[in-house]
């Protein structure tokens, strides 16, 4: 069986909610049944067949061809299978995702991987603001799983993050790891102002010295053996993190002292 492929056939004027299209909900459905599924677009309802050409039959791998940034909530609540997005994706990619894998061959909008519980999200382009973060007014962001961004991320990546790991190969915007509770966020590029603002616990790992808040205290340079194990755990992942040498020597900062001071920022030296 070939992968179930949805090819965008119209230029979208409004955003479309693709949350009904996840592998486990499409399993066993015929192309006619999939074409009849309803999708929300503003105050209207569209049929899948109104905007997509449908080919293939293996719903465990869903391919969205010609995707654009007006397609929101791709992979929301997904528990298994694989989604490949050939192009850009809109906001809320992988919201509440519990398992499986999503690969986006372009860039994504805000709140990607928000409330992620498990699985792997691989973004080959850039990510918008609030990557892996809590939604507005909610107390918890990402809770598990792994997110890899080959490009850069916007502001507030990992806001209120509780578990899991976010790996950013490019730059991160301001306040990454803000109000972080636990988990690991690593950045190979430059980091914007105020990393770790309000963080309570967790680890921020940077390749370059960040502009630190005055509420972080420097503790000196250490050889931390667990970093070799952490880097080794990335070996099977796609992207640059899988090829990093096992460096263990870092400069350590603790903070945010205004939020309990149990978080840490580690900078490779």
Task: Answer whether residue 198 is part of any domain.
Answer: yes
State the average pLDDT over residues 31-46: 96
Structure tokens at 52: 């997509």
Domain that includes residue 197, residue range: 107-268
Q: Is residue 191 part of a domain?
A: yes
Q: Which two tokens stand for residue 38?
A: 């309803």
CA dihedral (226, 232, 238, 241) positive or negative = positive
- Provide the b/e sequence for 84-104 (b: ≥16 CB within 10 Å): bbbbbbbbbbbbbbbebbbbb
Q: What is the pLDDT of residue 260?
A: 82
Name the average pLDDT for the chain: 96
Residue 58 has pLDDT above 90, yes or no: yes
Question: pLDDT digits over 144-166, tens only?
Answer: 999 999 999 999 999 999 999 99
Closest CA to 116 of 139, 134, 129: 134
242 pLDDT above the threshold of 90 = yes
Task: Tell me whether residue 30 is in a domain.
Answer: no
Domain assignment present for 57: no
What pLDDT is recorded for position 259? Answer: 81
Assigned token pair, 62:
């869903």
Return the pLDDT at 261. 84
Domain presence at residue 242: yes
What confidence tier does 226 reach under pLDDT thresholds 50, 70, 90?
very high
Total tally of structural domains belonging to the chain: 1
CA distances from 109 to 9, 167, 179, 210 (A): 21, 17, 21, 25
- Tell me how far CA of residue 259 lies from CA of 9, 104, 179, in angstroms: 50, 35, 8
Judge whether residue 73 has pLDDT over 90. yes
pLDDT 10s digits, 127-145: 999 999 999 999 889 999 9
Q: For position 170, what pLDDT does the model report?
A: 98
Tokens (6 digits) for 142: 């990402």
Global pTM?
0.96
Residue 58 domain flag: no
Q: 259 lies in a domain? A: yes
Query: What percent of the chain clears pLDDT 90, i.e. is strictly above it?
Result: 97
Asked whether residue 258 is domain-assigned, the answer is yes
Under 8 Å between Cβ of 169 and 189: yes
């Amino acid at each position: 069986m070939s992968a179930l492929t949805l090819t965008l056939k119209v230029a979208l004027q409004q955003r479309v909610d693709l949350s009904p299209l996840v592998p486990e909900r499409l399993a066993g459905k015929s192309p006619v049944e999939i074409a009849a599924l309803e999708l929300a677009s503003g105050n209207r309802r569209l049929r899948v067949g109104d905007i997509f050409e449908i080919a293939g039959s293996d719903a465990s791998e869903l391919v969205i061809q010609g995707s654009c940034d007006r397609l929101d909530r791709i992979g929301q609540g997904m528990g298994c299978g694989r989604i490949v997005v050939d192009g850009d994706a809109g906001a809320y990619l992988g919201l509440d995702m519990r398992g499986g894998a999503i690969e986006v061959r372009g860039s994504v909008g805000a709140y990607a991987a928000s409330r992620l519980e498990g699985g792997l999200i691989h973004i080959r382009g850039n990510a918008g603001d609030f990557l892996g973060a809590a939604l507005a007014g909610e107390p918890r962001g990402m809770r598990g799983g792994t997110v890899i961004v080959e490009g850069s991320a916007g502001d507030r990546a990992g806001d209120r993050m509780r578990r899991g790991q976010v790996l950013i190969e490019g730059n991160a915007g301001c306040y990454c790891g803000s109000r972080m509770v636990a988990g690991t966020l690593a950045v190979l590029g430059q980091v914007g102002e105020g990393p770790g603002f309000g963080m309570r616990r967790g680890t921020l790992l940077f390749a370059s010295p960040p502009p630190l808040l005055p509420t972080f205290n420097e503790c000196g340079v250490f050889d931390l053996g667990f970093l070799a194990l952490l880097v080794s755990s990335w070996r099977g992942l796609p992207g640059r993190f899988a090829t990093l040498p096992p460096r263990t020597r870092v400069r350590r900062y603790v903070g945010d002292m205004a939020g309990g001071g149990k978080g840490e920022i580690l900078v490779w030296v």
